[in-house]
Amino acid sequence: MGKKQKLTLFDVINYIVFILLALIIIIPIWKVVVDSFNAVGVYKFQLWPSDPTFAGYLTIMSTAKLARPFINSVVTTIIGTLIGLIMATLGGYVLCQYEMPGRNLFSYFLLFTMIFSGGMIPEYLVMKQLGLVDNMWILVVKHGMNVYNLVLMKNFFEGIPGSLYEAAELDGCSPMKTFTSVVLPLSKAALASIGLMFAVTIWNDYSTVQIYITNPTQVNFQYQLRVMIMDGDTPTTAYKVSQNTLYYASIVCAILPFMVAYPFLQKYFVTGVNAGAVKE
Amino acid sequence: MSNNQDTTPVVHKKPLKLRMWNYRGFYLMALPVFIFVLIIYYWPMLGVRYSFYSYKLRDIHFVGLDNFTQLFKEKEFWSSFRNTLIISIVKLLLNTFVAVIISIFLNEMTSMICKKFIQTVIYLPHFMSYAVVAAIFTLFLSTSSTGFVNETLKSMGIITKSIDFLHSKTMWRPIFYLINLWKETGWGTVIFFATLSGINTEQYEAASIDGATRLQRIRYITFPALSNTIIIVLILNLAKVLNIFEPVFVLYNSRVLEVSDVISTYIYRKTFLTAIPDYGYTTAVGLFKSLVGCVLMLASDIASKKVRGRGII
Amino acid sequence: MKKKLVSLILCSVMAVGLLAGCGGGGGGAAEGGSSGSGSGSSAGFVDGQLNSINIIVDGTVTATVDAGQAEFKAQWEEAVGEKLGHPITLNITQLDHSDYSGTVSRTLTTGQPGDAGYPDALIMSATMLRQYQTTGLLWNLASAYDNAEFQSRVNFPQVNENIRTPDGAQYGFAPTYGNGCVTYIKQGWLDAAGKTIDDIKTFDDYYALLKAFTENDPDGNGAGGTYGVIAAGFGKLDEAPFINYMPEFWQGAYPSFYQKDGTWVDGFTEQATIDALARLHQAYADGIIDPDTEEAGTKQAREKFFSNDQTTSEGAFTYWAGTWLRTLSDNLVKNEVKKADGSQETLVQLPPIQEIKDTWGGYLNREAPVWVITDDGDGDDAREQAIFDALFETMLDGDKVQTLWTYGAEDVHWSTKAEEFKTNEGTENEASYTYEEGQFHLKQSPNDPNTIWKKNHLDAVLVIAPLTNGYVSDDPLVTEGNNFFLENAVDAPAAASSETLSGVEADLVSTKTQLVNMAVVGEITPEEAVAQYTEQYGDVCATILEELNSAAE
């Protein structure tokens, strides 16, 4: 494959098909972005807004009903990712200790949760007991402990050469010290990719909010967006902004963080999936 | 996970207490995880006892298996059960099939830059939430004058009257599959690319020398190399078919319940959208779903062991 | 495999055992209500003193978080604290999204008195009240109401008498008259159709008008896309009087239980309902009912009606009377909705058509929504009475607190200070307002300086005991709206209440809604809809009717 090959008919068709495919993905996203700057709603696909305005974005920033959920989203995503990473690294590292008495029991204890769950209603009742209903921190609690990511983390740790552990032990490092000064620094890539998985999940979570939260001050941005567009619950604002502009501007805000970060971090996103699927 | 547990450890000479003492730091590390899991995952498991209770408002009393007899009689439940299987499985097969096709042909692309670019683009929609994707397509498919799809079709003269895609019982499922293809297929190719990058290029070269055409190479080298991965992807996902909730929840509506209501949305509706719901009944539906899910998971585990020599759990 | 399974089972048994053992507190707490927990003191009621009240309200408290709720709360706490002689906190949970009743049931099911978020008092529709009054969760406030101080000023005693159960218990308190819906028509569209409001006398006139709205390009954009009418549902089957929306189509039909010549009957199975469904179906098939009607919530429906994109809007909209004439008109201004000649679009109210007059006599005035108090079940009324005194008694004090509930917070929503301001400055709709010191007036809305604030929770005109401080909003449109309704409305039939009905009401509502929707869009015929209903609920309905009729005797 590495050699220069002649461009055959096959290649030409292949290129055309893939360019079309890319367009199918890009056009809807591009239309959303353009329409978010368009003062009047148009059905046509435009390359550039015909009547440019920032009113949509200004409305989001100045309307508490939209700005507050956005901040909630940011805060829960950051805290949730941190807690998720802490849990995954702690658990993953313990699972690597095959000689530890009770290690297998601990492993089954975790894996059983992947097979059986109490279901929506019992979970709801427990969260209610914990005071997490109508509370945005439900997002952190619900996603902070993810067994799947924990196992991924363990797999990453196992990829660290055993000789490094031995060296640390010879240096007189305690297991904790080995963990913080040897293992974690070597797992930056793993932390980045699993952290991204947490962040994507929490930021994009809509159904948890739909189920657990009714208090408008506690909802996240995905939920607010959904309520606004699907239930037509547009907040009253001082800005003169067309509904369409506001809708599309909100969509852009909802996808912006990862759309911006993604091209730079693609490597980490992809590693996470491969580690999960290929080696488990 | 299971690679190490059956190998007999050699160093079991020290007494248990001492070994535990040596690992004291690790127990401390495990503690937060243990408590977290206990509260978030195991505590709710106690709640499944409500399956045997009638639980309306604060009136809770034991009813034995009544909830299950009611469940098995309920037409609406069976309709949701059937929908769950159809929607999940068709979605899984379609997404996998298209992802494989894309991977194979993208793999044939000679320009590395172009290949990278296409990959970057097709991964994009995965990072949008279902809520956002549903919002985008609901706006595009709407019947209003700003509805992208309807107005475009009208201006091209293909239709004269707007079609209400998402409210049509015949159109809903195809639209659902298409939207899911748009969102997830690109990302689904990641795992196939990982496999393809492992194929020895010598194989291709040897085939070229033997005069094999591109299509023959795909047929005899690329595809067989992928077949194992395809089976693994299918098995891994089979275990989760009953869990489908959010993709359906964000797109369904009362008009198309008949073709779109899945078990999770059924539980949701019966619990949260009913004036005075019976939590006992909906817990029973949840328990039923969990148990069937459990069986599917164990079946996938066995299948996975057969195919690749190790389980999924 | 075997070993693994055994371990798994062992592990789960261990975990569950551990939880069951150590989790006596946790597991037991999950059972919550079953133990009845008669601690007798809620979070806010300690040693006979009410320190805080949790209330759950819907969108009818218009002083929302974005619109001065903090000030409303602060002024309420100050005024009520002064009256009671000790400080008190008001915790407001406002559920402004569409699923109010579902959320309330979740809160009441999973919480219990004494929990931090458990409501002490909340708003319920008349229908919800009937579902809950037999459950023991609500407090019988009959004697508290009878002995209330505001009794001497009550003008409409009938409103709360209607709420009482046959044995004299009263679980809800209605501070206002019910109000109802009237049909609003866009003047510009009416002009474009070449009609005046006086031309619309009968259903046929109305239907022809809607058809013109749909087909004759009333918005003048040269293309179709417009509709005749929209509402938040073809009917409103979850809340009496059920035919608030699209009354011109429902006419004399009443798709629920009602008393006909002294006997209870099930209106859903009557010929009138079948005819009404046929009319709705015809209109739907002709494209004059906006198909969004089926799914739309109230907010979505009204926003589409006054949207700045009139190309897919509607000419007629049936919605709440009175203040809403003002709100809808203001929104047309805000969204720059114009008539064909470029002037500002306005609304005109359609008097009831002949068919409505012949059957009911006018638009229906619904049963009032109520406030209820939750019962902590300890057999002692001290907490509940304290909530009544702090919340309901003050709500109708005729003075400071009633003003808060009626108009909102002082110097936020209304003021008596001298001031001048303009709305829609720099546009053709610019209006300026000048007030002298001491003159009561409403201010600009906190969340939209281009409109004038209208009211908070209570409607000054509909309230059962009027304000005594003389604060009147003299908005001509609101007055016009209220007068129009009072002239054209009659009381809705009394709603049914029976034990069996409470149990199945929710199912009945969802089944009927679905059947009505299917019949209107033409998936089944109206006759089939009624037949399916009878097949599924015929026996239950017979029982309900039996209960209702035996209670009536």
Quote the tokens at residue B271: 């619990």
Domain-located, residue A58: no
State the Cα–Cα distance between residues A96 and A103, nearest whole angstrom.
9
Q: What is the DSSP letter of B213?
A: -
Q: Helices C526-552 and C271-285: crossing angle, nearest 10°? A: 150
The answer to whether the Cβ–Cβ distance between C309 and A237 falls below 8 Å is: no
Number of CB pairs, chain B paired with chain C, less than 8 A apart: 95
Q: Find the range with the poorest average confidence among A230-239, C73-82, C368-377.
A: A230-239
Tell me what pLDDT residue C22 has.
39
Mutate to test the interface with B, among C2, C16, C109 (most CBs of B within 10 A): C109
CA of A240 vs chain C CAs: smallest distance (Å): 8
| Helix H or strand E encompassing C106 | helix C100-110
C42: confidence class by pLDDT, cuts 50, 70, 90: low
Tell me what pLDDT residue C247 has.
92
Tell me what pLDDT residue A55 has.
87
Domain-located, residue A251: yes
The answer to whether the Cβ–Cβ distance between C7 and A105 falls below 8 Å is: yes
Contact indicator for C415, C71 with CB cutoff of 8 Å = no
C254: confidence class by pLDDT, cuts 50, 70, 90: very high
Query: Does residue C139 share a domain with residue C231?
Result: no
Domain-located, residue A57: no
Strands C489-491 and C363-365: parallel
Q: Spell out which residues of chain C touch residue B56, defining contact as CB-CB under 8 Å.
A: 109
Residues C433, C436, C441: CA angle, nearest 5 degrees:
60
**Residue whose entry in the numeric block shows the structure tokens 């709710």:** B44
3 state SS for C328-380: HHHHHHHCCCECCCCCECCEEEECCCHHHHHHCCCEEECCCCEEEEECCCCCC
- Identity of the residue numbered B300: S
Query: Does residue A10 share a domain with residue A111?
Result: no
Q: Answer whether A227 touches C (CB < 8 Å).
A: yes
**Residue whose entry in the numeric block shows the structure tokens 């897919």:** C312
Domain-located, residue C357: yes
Q: Find the range with the poorest average confidence among A32-46, A227-241, C354-368, C399-413.
A: A227-241
Q: Find the range with the poorest average confidence among A16-20, C466-470, C492-496.
A: C492-496
- Average pLDDT value for chain A: 86
Query: Does residue C355 share a domain with residue C264?
Result: yes
Count how many domains chain C has. Answer: 2
Structural domain including A96 reads: 63-278
Query: Does residue A118 share a domain with residue A254?
Result: yes
State the Cα–Cα distance between residues C376 and C40, nearest whole angstrom.
7
Minimal Cβ distance to C96: which of A131, A216, A243:
A216
Tell me what pLDDT residue B57 has.
84
pLDDT higher than threshold 90 for residue C390:
yes
State the Cα–Cα distance between residues B295 and A201, nearest whole angstrom.
27
Chains contacting chain C through 3 or more C-beta pairs under 8 A: A, B
Minimal Cβ distance to C15: which of B42, B56, B275:
B42
pLDDT higher than threshold 90 for residue A177:
no
Query: Does residue C92 share a domain with residue C81?
Result: yes
Minimal Cβ distance to B57: which of C135, C291, C509:
C135
State the Cα–Cα distance between residues C314 and C250, nearest whole angstrom.
19
Nearest CA in chain B to C128: B275
Tell me what pLDDT residue C27 has.
35
State the CB neighbour count (10 A cutoff) for residue B56: 18
Nearest CA in chain C to A241: C335
Contact partners, residue A196, CB within 8 Å, separation at least 6: A265, A268, A269, A272
The dihedral formed by the CA atoms of A21, A22, A23 and A28, expressed in degrees to the nearest 10: 110
pLDDT higher than threshold 70 for residue C340:
yes
Minimal Cβ distance to B47: which of C30, C102, C109:
C30
**Span C307-316, average pLDDT:** 85
- Average pLDDT value for chain C: 85
Tell me what pLDDT residue B312 has.
67
Query: Does residue C384 share a domain with residue C253?
Result: no
Residues C397, C400, C406: CA angle, nearest 5 degrees:
80
* Cα–Cα distances in angstroms (integers) from residue B8 to residues A107, B4, B5, in the given order: 17, 9, 8
Contact indicator for A55, A39 with CB cutoff of 8 Å = yes
Instruction: Give me the residues paired with residue C317 across strands.
Output: C184, C230
Instruction: Show which of residues 41-70 on chain B sit within 8 Å of chain A, judged by CB atoms.
Output: 41-48, 50
The answer to whether the Cβ–Cβ distance between A94 and B135 falls below 8 Å is: no
More confident residue, C99 or C349: C349
**Residue whose entry in the numeric block shows the structure tokens 């009638």:** B54
- Identity of the residue numbered C321: A
Q: What are phi and psi of C363, to 5 degrees?
A: -65, 150
Q: Spell out which residues of chain A touch residue B16, defining contact as CB-CB under 8 Å.
A: 101
pLDDT higher than threshold 80 for residue A6:
no
**Closest CA relative to residue C120, chosen from C169, C50, C35:** C50
Query: Does residue A139 share a domain with residue A88?
Result: yes
Minimal Cβ distance to A231: which of C30, C32, C297:
C297
Domain-located, residue C100: yes
Q: Spell out which residues of chain B touch residue C32, defining contact as CB-CB under 8 Å.
A: 58
Q: Spell out which residues of chain C touch residue B144, defining contact as CB-CB under 8 Å.
A: 225, 309, 312
Residue ranges of chain C whose CB lies within 8 Å of a chain A CB: 4, 7-8, 10-12, 14-15, 26, 29-30, 32, 65-67, 93-98, 103, 106, 110-111, 116-117, 296-297, 299-300, 303-304, 307-309, 334, 336, 445, 447-450
B243, exposed or middle or buried, with CB in 10 Å at 0-12, 13-18, 19+? middle
Mutate to test the interface with A, among C6, C65, C105, C295 (most CBs of A within 10 A): C65
State the Cα–Cα distance between residues C223 and C238, nearest whole angstrom.
37
Domain-located, residue C137: yes
Quote the tokens at residue B248: 């359906």
Per-residue pLDDT 10s for chain B (313 aa) are 444 444 445 555 678 888 888 888 889 889 999 999 999 999 999 999 999 999 988 889 999 999 999 999 888 899 999 999 999 999 999 999 999 999 998 988 878 888 889 988 999 999 999 999 999 999 999 877 778 898 889 888 888 877 888 888 899 999 999 999 999 999 899 888 888 887 777 877 888 788 778 888 888 888 888 888 898 888 888 888 999 999 999 999 877 888 999 999 999 988 888 778 899 999 999 999 999 999 998 888 888 888 877 776 6
Q: Answer whether B282 touches A (CB < 8 Å).
A: yes
Q: Spell out which residues of chain B touch residue C26, defining contact as CB-CB under 8 Å.
A: 43
Q: Answer whether B273 touches C (CB < 8 Å).
A: yes
Per residue in C184-221, pLDDT (tens digit) is 999 999 998 999 999 999 999 999 999 999 988 887 77
pLDDT higher than threshold 90 for residue C459:
no
C494: confidence class by pLDDT, cuts 50, 70, 90: confident
**Span C105-110, average pLDDT:** 88
CA of A62 vs chain B CAs: smallest distance (Å): 22
Q: What are phi and psi of C253, to 5 degrees?
A: -75, 150
State the Cα–Cα distance between residues A120 and C277, nearest whole angstrom.
38
**Closest CA relative to residue C480, chosen from C330, C244, C337, C321:** C321
The string of DSSP letters for B13-26 reads TS-HHHHHHHTHHH
Chains contacting chain A through 3 or more C-beta pairs under 8 A: B, C
The answer to whether the Cβ–Cβ distance between A115 and B313 falls below 8 Å is: yes
State the CB neighbour count (10 A cutoff) for residue A114: 16
Contact indicator for C458, C403 with CB cutoff of 8 Å = no
Query: Does residue A118 share a domain with residue A167?
Result: yes
CA of A74 vs chain B CAs: smallest distance (Å): 15
State the Cα–Cα distance between residues B8 and C469, nearest whole angstrom.
89
Chains contacting chain B through 3 or more C-beta pairs under 8 A: A, C
The answer to whether the Cβ–Cβ distance between B194 and A277 falls below 8 Å is: yes
The answer to whether the Cβ–Cβ distance between B275 and C18 falls below 8 Å is: no
Residue B208, SS3 per DSSP: helix
Domain-located, residue C208: yes
The answer to whether the Cβ–Cβ distance between C29 and A129 falls below 8 Å is: yes
The answer to whether the Cβ–Cβ distance between A123 and B129 falls below 8 Å is: no
* Cα–Cα distances in angstroms (integers) from residue B247 to residues B103, B130, B181, B244, in the given order: 24, 6, 12, 7
Contact partners, residue B47, CB within 8 Å, separation at least 6: A118, A119, A121, A122, A123, A125, A126, B283, C30
Residue C498, SS3 per DSSP: coil
Minimal Cβ distance to B43: which of C1, C19, C295:
C19
The answer to whether the Cβ–Cβ distance between B144 and C99 falls below 8 Å is: no
The string of DSSP letters for C167-180 reads TS----B--B---B
Chain-centre distance of CA B140, in angstroms? 25
Q: Spell out which residues of chain C touch residue A242, defining contact as CB-CB under 8 Å.
A: 308-309
ipTM of the predicted structure? 0.90
Contact partners, residue C172, CB within 8 Å, separation at least 6: C124, C126, C129, C133, C138, C141, C163, C370, C371, C372
Query: Does residue A223 share a domain with residue A101?
Result: yes
State the Cα–Cα distance between residues C320 and C369, nearest whole angstrom.
14
Domain-located, residue C211: yes
Burial C124-143 (b: 16+ CB within 10 A, else e): bbbbbbbbbbbbebbbbbbe
Q: Answer whether B4 touches A (CB < 8 Å).
A: yes
State the Cα–Cα distance between residues A130 and A124, nearest whole angstrom.
10
**Closest CA relative to residue C440, chosen from C458, C464, C413, C480:** C413
Q: What is the CATH number of the domain that holds A97?
A: 1.10.3720.10
Query: Does residue C163 share a domain with residue C116?
Result: yes
C360, exposed or middle or buried, with CB in 10 Å at 0-12, 13-18, 19+? buried
Tell me what pLDDT residue A137 has.
95
Domain boundary among C354, C379, C407: C407
Per residue in C375-387, pLDDT (tens digit) is 988 888 889 999 9
Q: What are phi and psi of A116, to 5 degrees?
A: -130, 140
End-to-end distance of chain C based on CA atoms, in angstroms? 71
3 state SS for chain A: CCCCCCCCHHHHHHHHHHHHHHHHHHHHHHHHHHHHCECCCCCCCCCCCCCECCHHHHHHHHCHHHHHHHHHHHHHHHHHHHHHHHHHHHHHHHHCCCCCCCHHHHHHHHHHHHHCCCCHHHHHHHHHHCCCCCCCCHHHHHHHCCHHHHHHHHHHHHCCCHHHHHHHHHCCCCHHHHHHHHHHHHCHHHHHHHHHHHHHHHHHCCHHHHHHCCCCCCCCHHHHHHHHHHCCCCCCCCCCCCHHHHHHHHHHHHHHHHHHHHHHHHHHHHHHHHHHHHCC
Q: What is the CATH number of the domain that holds C382?
A: 3.40.190.10
Q: Answer whether B267 touches A (CB < 8 Å).
A: yes
Domain-located, residue A97: yes
Domain-located, residue C146: yes
Tell me what pLDDT residue C36 has.
35
Q: Answer whether A231 touches C (CB < 8 Å).
A: yes
Query: Does residue C320 share a domain with residue C188?
Result: yes
State the Cα–Cα distance between residues B123 and B120, nearest whole angstrom.
5
Nearest CA in chain B to C507: B274
Query: Does residue A147 share a domain with residue A113?
Result: yes
More confident residue, A42 or C374: C374
Quote the tokens at residue B192: 């196939």
Domain-located, residue C486: no
A268: confidence class by pLDDT, cuts 50, 70, 90: confident
Structural domain including C212 reads: 181-365+493-552
Beta strands across the sheet bearing C370-373: C89-94, C52-57, C121-124, C370-373
Count how many domains chain A has. Answer: 2
- CATH of range B75-133+160-308; options 3.40.50.170, 1.20.140.90, 1.10.3720.10, 1.10.472.10: 1.10.3720.10
Domains of chain B, residue spans: 75-133+160-308
The answer to whether the Cβ–Cβ distance between A216 and C97 falls below 8 Å is: yes
Mutate to test the interface with C, among A60, A104, A108, A213 (most CBs of C within 10 A): A108
Per residue in C392-421, pLDDT (tens digit) is 999 999 999 999 999 999 999 999 999 999
pTM given for the model = 0.84
Q: Find the range with the poorest average confidence among B213-217, C39-43, C227-231.
A: C39-43
More confident residue, A243 or B189: B189
Q: Spell out which residues of chain B touch residue A209, defining contact as CB-CB under 8 Å.
A: none
Domain-located, residue C33: no
State the Cα–Cα distance between residues C483 and C478, nearest whole angstrom.
8
Q: Find the range with the poorest average confidence among A157-166, C18-27, C70-79.
A: C18-27
Q: What is the DSSP letter of C392?
A: I
Mutate to test the interface with A, among C9, C35, C66, C309 (most CBs of A within 10 A): C66
Query: Does residue C354 share a domain with residue C329?
Result: yes
Query: Does residue C244 share a domain with residue C285?
Result: yes
A195: confidence class by pLDDT, cuts 50, 70, 90: very high
